[in-house]
Every structure is written in C-alpha cells, then in structure tokens.
Amino acid sequence: GRTIGFPTANLKVSEDMLIPKKGVYYTNVVYNNNQFKGITSVGTNPTVNGEKITIETHILDFDKNIYDKELKLIFLERIRDEKKFDSIGKLVERLKKDKEFAKNRELYNKK
C-alpha cells in the first residue's frame, strides 16, 4: 500500500481468528490508547494477483512506524465487496473514495 500512497498495517491472520467476509470496511484502530479512523481490506488483493487472505488497514492521519506493534481493530461498517481492478490507477481512485467515506464517519464511542 505504501508504494501507491496508502500505507497499511498488515495484520497477522491466524486460524483461530473470526474474520469478516472479504471486502473493504470502515474501521477504528486503537493504537497506544489513541483511536483513529481506518479503511481495512479483508481478502486476497486480486488486483495484484494475491492468493492468501490478508487483513490490511490504512489508518487515516497517521504516520508512525508500527511494525511489530499491537493494534485493535473495531469493524464498524462494510464499505464494499473485494474487487479486481483493471489497473493500479483504478484501485487508487477507489481507495480515495473509500478514504473519503471513512473521513465522513464518526469515531466509535463506547459509552
């Protein structure tokens, strides 16, 4: 994601995890006791011919190095199905729309 302007946190997937249906989601990401908006892809990344299920989160307004750090994801709303795009350019166009969708949502506030 970094090479196309959408750096992602790539989460480890294990067999004992309950994973949502393939697609793109509006999520909130909790890191270091702070909460951020995110867009999360669950799927095989078909545009780049991926084969295994991955979970990747682009965190809005965030630029820290979080390799090997623990994150908590809160899945809030499904944005769309996973799709194979004709080009990386078309994928980037759609990611910009997904990001705009997330910007216009509220942070989850557990009361």
Band of pLDDT at residue 102, cut at 50, 70 and 90: very high
Q: Is the whole-model pTM more than 0.75?
A: yes
According to CATH, the topology of domain 2-103 is: Elongation Factor Tu (Ef-tu); domain 3 (2.40.30)
Q: Tell me, what's the pLDDT at 2? A: 63
What does the pLDDT look like over 31-80, one tens digit per residue?
Answer: 999 999 999 999 998 888 878 889 999 999 998 989 889 899 999 999 99
Q: For 5-22, give one letter per residue: b (16+ CB within 10 A) or e.
A: ebbbbebeeeeeeeeeee
Dist CA 23 CA 82 (whole Å):
4
In contact, 75 and 35? CB cutoff 8 Å: no
What does the pLDDT look like over 10-35, one tens digit per residue?
Answer: 998 778 888 899 999 999 999 999 99
Dist CA 16 CA 13 (whole Å):
9
